[in-house]
Amino acid sequence: MKRPRIGIFKFTSCDGCQVSVLNLEEELLELLGLFQVAYFREATDRPLRGHLDIALVEGSISTERQRSHVIEVRERTRHLITIGACATSGGLQALRNWASIEDYKKAVYPSPEMIETLPCSTPISDHVYVDYELWGCPINSDELSETIASFLLDKRPGIPGYSLCMECKRKGVPCLLVVKSEPCLGPVTRAGCGVLCPALERPCYGCFGPKEGANIDSLLNVFRKAGLSDHDCALLLDKMNTYSYRKARSREGLQ
Amino acid sequence: MKRLFKVDYLSRVEGETGITAEIQDGEVTVRAGVFEAPRFFESFLRGRHYSDIADFTARICGICPVAYQMSAIHAIERIFGIEVEEPIRELRRLLYCGEWIESHALHIYLLQGPDFYGAESAWSKKDYLPIAKRGLSLKKLGNRILALLGGRPIHPVSVKVGGFSKLPQKKSLLSIVPDIEDAFVESLREVERAARLQFQDHAMDMECVSLCTPREYPMNHGNVISNRGINTPMAGFLSMVRESQVRHSTALHSKIWKDGRESPYLVGPISRVNLNAEKLPEEITTTIKKCGISLPIMNTRMGIIARSIELSYALHEAMRIIRAYEAPSGPSVRFEPREGEATWITEAPRGILIHRYGLDHEGYVKDCTLIPPTSQNLAQMEIDLHDFIQIHIDKSVDFLKKESEKIVRSYDPCISCSVHLVVLEGNKHVKTPYGVRGGIA
């Protein structure tokens, strides 16, 4: 049987999710035996040619050039999978979406008119059809292997869409929100990290983005009762998945 | 006759970068361009709370997030006047060791290594696979140290202003010591292997810059020194650096501004080894002598040797810290935010990483400057490329192209880092309180 062709692409990002691919370590070499790595700029010299069975896409779209490139990648690809907060929800750099890009440029750069960039940083799904999205800043390597293995087995990846609280309870980690009144985003955030922060006695800060049907406003009311200002609440959501949390909130408002 | 070659998108480096070289009438012009998209970190950090800074700046780079956390945390602690306990200081150093191991292993074995064996990637040649495997297992060990302290290797979560959110158990730290011991023994052999590689002879007279402290091999503390007589506290160095814009790049180029002249400089493993060799443990210095590595290293192609030495050092240091570790009285110290400004520099795997923050009385960011190692090395890298092409001007474009790529790779550039700063075409010099930024170089 011909090995499926895999490509790994990068747009605007920190490279961390691509590094997660390399962090598969021993599994990486096994993986390489199952696929033909057709494109992976970070690790090989091979240029992009022909069609791909699977594309892993890291990074958000933030320049005109990237906008046309991602369309090209889509056209060459059977299954397009986004990896990480930037590709799936615009990333930390999507904070510019809520500011005036002109102000942003002026704040730092001497000749703002010369910067070539789009006013917004947006997820891949705003531009092309995405077959599957992996959340996380960075992604969880186990979820990545599960997704790739599922592709080979032609099944849906077994990645939960429920909240971090479920994972936290199962692990028996004391609830920071209930016990210490700390502003933990766990109730509205996707599971997937393996309860990193609460286990280290730190409230969740939303690396994995909003879970489906998250009731964000209700959680913010709890935070307000604990003494947080509206401004503080807004800042809590405006991090690596700002675009998705805000979208989830406005969807909630419409219902 | 005019000859031109272009590498549009360099492979096996972190991020998006290219090289353009033009040869006309025996004159060479080289531009190492960075075309990674800007991300505006310095803009959106404004108005954010100090407690967000380390999480945000970590997202500048997925290979060296700890470096960003360290420079940020130390700068903020300086503003607030926080002194952490000795064990906290040591644990942060241990975290940094994890990152040096992971980052150096990635570069030595997966990114640059294949160049010495004519391979297009770490897995494209059967002969190279055993080497790639050794690299992956070293990288994994670095990642384990990071995960033990910070929950995960990329963007770890436990570091905070004042200390850590939770301390590791000594027991769990000790559990990885046997593996580190084995890896250390192996790493000395790796230094020997690196020294046996074939390098082009290309010694340069260059200014090497690194931190230096009498106490230890530098990571989080020290003065900035150079082989040409710089010796200044961290803040003093920032005022010596002049960042300029170049037409072809979305990253600024940094140079040292001294006596009315600007000059390029080199940061990173070569500079650190050159300026701090006497602080390396005996096992490593013996190995260095045994395999005939002569210090200082003035050939930038030999970065892989310096990186191997440091990989070995980071393993040795991690063992030392874990064995000596005694838990502090608490995971973090209490403090009150206060208004102020501070600069801090730490040694990222690729060289000094400069952070400066101005905070208001509640601890919200008023303004900040972030200068990553790669933008400090870009000017030196261009000179290096220029000299190389000038010497080999008669060779084929294919040869020049391939070799130029190798030269850039030997610097281990981290492009995602360098480009939170954008450069534009323009001709203005902008005076900031911290030196001059702007202008076409």
pLDDT tens-digit readout, B260-314: 788 899 999 999 999 999 999 999 999 999 999 999 999 999 999 999 999 999 9
Distance CA B245, CA B290 (A): 44
CB B108 within 8 A of CB B90: no
Which amino acid is residue B126, in one-letter code?
K
Dihedral sign from CA coordinates of B366, B372, B377, B382? negative
- Residues A80, A26 share a domain: yes
- Residues A72, A30 share a domain: yes
B6 DSSP β-pair partners: B20
Q: Which of B11, B250, B430 to mutate to test the interface with A (most CBs of A within 10 A)?
A: B11
Q: How many contiguous H segments (helices) and E segments (strands) does chain B have?
A: 15, 16
- Residues A209, A140 share a domain: no
Distance CA A191, CA A168 (A): 9
Distance CA B320, CA B333 (A): 24
Give the pLDDT band of residue B398 (cuts 50, 70, 90).
confident
Distance CA B77, CA B94 (A): 19
Residue B157: predicted pLDDT: 97
- Answer whether B399 touches A (CB < 8 Å): no
Kindly give the pairing relationship between strand B435-440 and strand B241-245.
parallel
Alpha helices in B345-396 (DSSP H): 373-391
Mean of per-residue pLDDT scores for chain A? 90
DSSP state string for chain A: -PPPEEEEEE-BS-SHHHHHHHTTTHHHHHHHHHSEEEEETTTB-PPP-S-EEEEEEESBB-SHHHHHHHHHHHHHEEEEEEESHHHHH--GGGGGGGS-HHHHHHHH-S-GGG----S--B-GGGTS--SEEE--SS--HHHHHHHHHHHHHTS------SBHHHHHHHHTPPPHHHHH-----GGGBBS-S-SHHHHTT-----TT-BPTT--HHHHHHHHHHTT--HHHHHHHHSSTTHHHHHHHHHHHHH-
Q: Which of B56, B59, B432 to mutate to test the interface with A (most CBs of A within 10 A)?
A: B59
Chain B positions touching A137 (Cβ under 8 A) are 59, 155
CB B368 within 8 A of CB B357: yes
CB B166 within 8 A of CB A201: yes
Give the pLDDT band of residue B440 (cuts 50, 70, 90).
very low
Distance CA B400, CA B385 (A): 10
Candidates A44, A45, A196; nearest CB to B152: A196
- Does B16 score more than 90 pLDDT? no
Q: Identify the domain boundary among A97, A131, A153.
A: A153
Count Cα atoms within 13 angstroms, Cβ side, for A26: 2
Distance CA A37, CA B299 (A): 34
Distance of CA B260 to the CA centre of its chain: 28
| Percentage with pLDDT > 70 across chain B | 91
CB B405 within 8 A of CB B54: no
Residue B11: predicted pLDDT: 78
Distance of CA A237 to the CA centre of its chain: 14
CB B295 within 8 A of CB B280: no
Distance CA B272, CA B274 (A): 5
Chain B positions touching A43 (Cβ under 8 A) are 11-12, 110-111, 121-122
- Beta-carbon separation of A16 and B59 below 8 A: yes
- Residues A177, A114 share a domain: no
Candidates B11, B165, B437; nearest CB to A202: B165
- Beta-carbon separation of A111 and B424 below 8 A: yes
Q: Is residue A224 in a domain?
A: yes
Torsion of CA A229, A167, A137, B104, to 10 degrees: 130
Residue B249: predicted pLDDT: 60
Q: Chain A residue closest to B436 (CA)?
A: A110
Helix (H) or strand (E) holding B42: helix B41-44
- Residues A29, A133 share a domain: yes
CA nearest to A20, candidates A50, A43, A45, A53: A43
Residue A33: predicted pLDDT: 84
Distance of CA B198 to the CA centre of its chain: 24
Chain B positions touching A197 (Cβ under 8 A) are 151, 157, 165
Of A109-113, B128-132, B161-165, B395-399, the least confident: A109-113
Segment A155-198, tens digit of pLDDT = 999 999 999 999 999 999 999 999 999 999 999 999 999 999 99
A163 DSSP β-pair partners: A190
Q: Identify the domain boundary among A153, A184, A200.
A: A153
Chain A positions touching B122 (Cβ under 8 A) are 43
CB B138 within 8 A of CB B183: yes
Of A51-55, B180-184, B346-350, B388-392, the least confident: B388-392
- Beta-carbon separation of A202 and B160 below 8 A: yes
Residue A40: predicted pLDDT: 87
- In degrees, rounded to 5, the angle at the alpha carbon of residue A109 between the alpha carbons of residues A103 and A114 is 90
Kindly give the pairing relationship between strand B365-371 and strand B351-359.
antiparallel
- Residue span of the structural domain in which A212 resides: 164-254
Q: Which of A96-100, B232-236, B241-245 has the highest average model confidence (pLDDT)?
A: B232-236
**What residues 48-107 of chain B have any CB closer than 8 A to a CB of chain A?**
48-49, 52, 55-56, 59-63, 65, 106
Chain A positions touching B166 (Cβ under 8 A) are 199-202
- Does B425 score more than 50 pLDDT? no
Cβ contacts of B338 within 8 Å, gap of 6 or more: B79, B80, B81, B359, B361, B363
Candidates A23, A93, A105; nearest CB to B153: A23
- Does B431 score more than 50 pLDDT? no
To the nearest whole angstrom, how far is the Cα of B139 from the nearest Cα of chain A? 8
What's the CATH code of the domain at A36?
3.40.50.700
Cβ contacts of B222 within 8 Å, gap of 6 or more: B211, B212, B213
Taking each helix axis as running N to C, give the angle between helix B86-105 and helix B303-324, from 0 to 180 degrees, rounded to the nearest 10. Answer: 150
C-alpha distances in Å from residue A182, one per residue of A219, B145, B362, B364: 12, 28, 19, 20
- Does A1 score more than 70 pLDDT? no
Neighbour tally for A145: CB within 10 Å: 17
Task: Give the number of domains in chain A.
Answer: 2
Query: What's the mean pLDDT in B356-380?
Result: 92
Residue B311: predicted pLDDT: 98
Chain B positions touching A58 (Cβ under 8 A) are none
- Beta-carbon separation of A235 and B155 below 8 A: no
- Residues A148, A172 share a domain: no
Chain B positions touching A234 (Cβ under 8 A) are none
To the nearest whole angstrom, how far is the Cα of B290 from the nearest Cα of chain A? 32
- Residues A169, A140 share a domain: no
Choice between A153 and B433, residue whose per-residue pLDDT is larger: A153
Count Cα atoms within 13 angstroms, Cβ side, for A74: 16
CB A86 within 8 A of CB A135: no
Q: Chain B residue closest to A95 (CA)?
A: B44
> Residue by residue, what is the 3-state secondary structure of A109-159?
CCCHHHCCCCCCCECHHHCCCCCEEECCCCCCHHHHHHHHHHHHHCCCCCC
- In degrees, rounded to 5, the angle at the alpha carbon of residue B100 between the alpha carbons of residues B233 and B105 is 145
Chain B positions touching A199 (Cβ under 8 A) are 151, 166
**Token digits of residue B423:** 């450069």
Residue A236: predicted pLDDT: 95
Domain extents in chain B: 36-440
- Answer whether B196 touches A (CB < 8 Å): no
Candidates A45, A62, A201; nearest CB to B11: A45
Give the pLDDT band of residue B424 (cuts 50, 70, 90).
very low
Q: Is residue A55 in a domain?
A: yes
Distance CA A180, CA A203 (A): 10
- Residues A185, A139 share a domain: no
Distance of CA B361 to the CA centre of its chain: 32
Mean of per-residue pLDDT scores for chain B? 88
- Answer whether B340 touches A (CB < 8 Å): no
Taking each helix axis as running N to C, give the angle between helix B129-150 and helix B86-105, from 0 to 180 degrees, rounded to the nearest 10. Answer: 160
Strand ordering across the sheet containing B27-34: B2-7, B17-24, B27-34
- Residues A118, A49 share a domain: yes
Neighbour tally for A112: CB within 10 Å: 17
Distance CA B133, CA B393 (A): 38
Query: What's the mean pLDDT in A56-78?
Result: 95
- Residues A176, A141 share a domain: no
**Token digits of residue B25:** 């009438």
Distance CA B421, CA B211 (A): 23
**Token digits of residue A209:** 């983005």
Give the pLDDT band of residue B423 (cuts 50, 70, 90).
very low
- Residues A63, A26 share a domain: yes
Chain B positions touching A91 (Cβ under 8 A) are 59
- Answer whether B142 touches A (CB < 8 Å): no
Q: Is residue A191 in a domain?
A: yes
To the nearest whole angstrom, how far is the Cα of A92 from the nearest Cα of chain B? 8
Q: Identify the domain boundary among A110, A128, A153.
A: A153
Query: What's the mean pLDDT in A135-148?
Result: 94
CA nearest to A38, candidates A84, A62, A2: A2
Q: Is residue A74 in a domain?
A: yes
- Residues A239, A131 share a domain: no
B36-440, what's its fold?
Cytochrome-c3 Hydrogenase; chain B (1.10.645)
- Does B421 score more than 70 pLDDT? no
Q: Chain A residue closest to B160 (CA)?
A: A202
- Beta-carbon separation of B62 and A109 below 8 A: no
To the nearest whole angstrom, how far is the Cα of B79 from the nearest Cα of chain A? 22
Helix (H) or strand (E) holding B212: strand B209-212
Cβ contacts of A160 within 8 Å, gap of 6 or more: A166, A190, A191, A192
To the nearest whole angstrom, how far is the Cα of B428 from the nearest Cα of chain A? 7
Helix (H) or strand (E) holding B33: strand B27-34
Distance CA B420, CA B416 (A): 7
Chain A positions touching B46 (Cβ under 8 A) are 107
Segment A222-254, tens digit of pLDDT = 999 999 999 999 999 999 999 999 999 887 766
Q: Is residue A159 in a domain?
A: no
Q: Is residue A126 in a domain?
A: yes
**What residues 28-57 of chain B have any CB closer than 8 A to a CB of chain A?**
36-40, 42-44, 46, 48-49, 52, 55-56
- Does B416 score more than 80 pLDDT? no
Q: Chain B residue closest to A28 (CA)?
A: B136
| Percentage with pLDDT > 90 across chain A | 71
Count Cα atoms within 13 angstroms, Cβ side, for B162: 14
Give the pLDDT band of residue B35 (cuts 50, 70, 90).
low
Count Cα atoms within 13 angstroms, Cβ side, for B232: 18
* Interface ipTM above 0.90: yes
Residue B251: predicted pLDDT: 63
- Does B417 score more than 70 pLDDT? no
Give the three-class secondary structure for B280: coil
- Beta-carbon separation of A14 and B132 below 8 A: no
Give the pLDDT band of residue B419 (cuts 50, 70, 90).
low
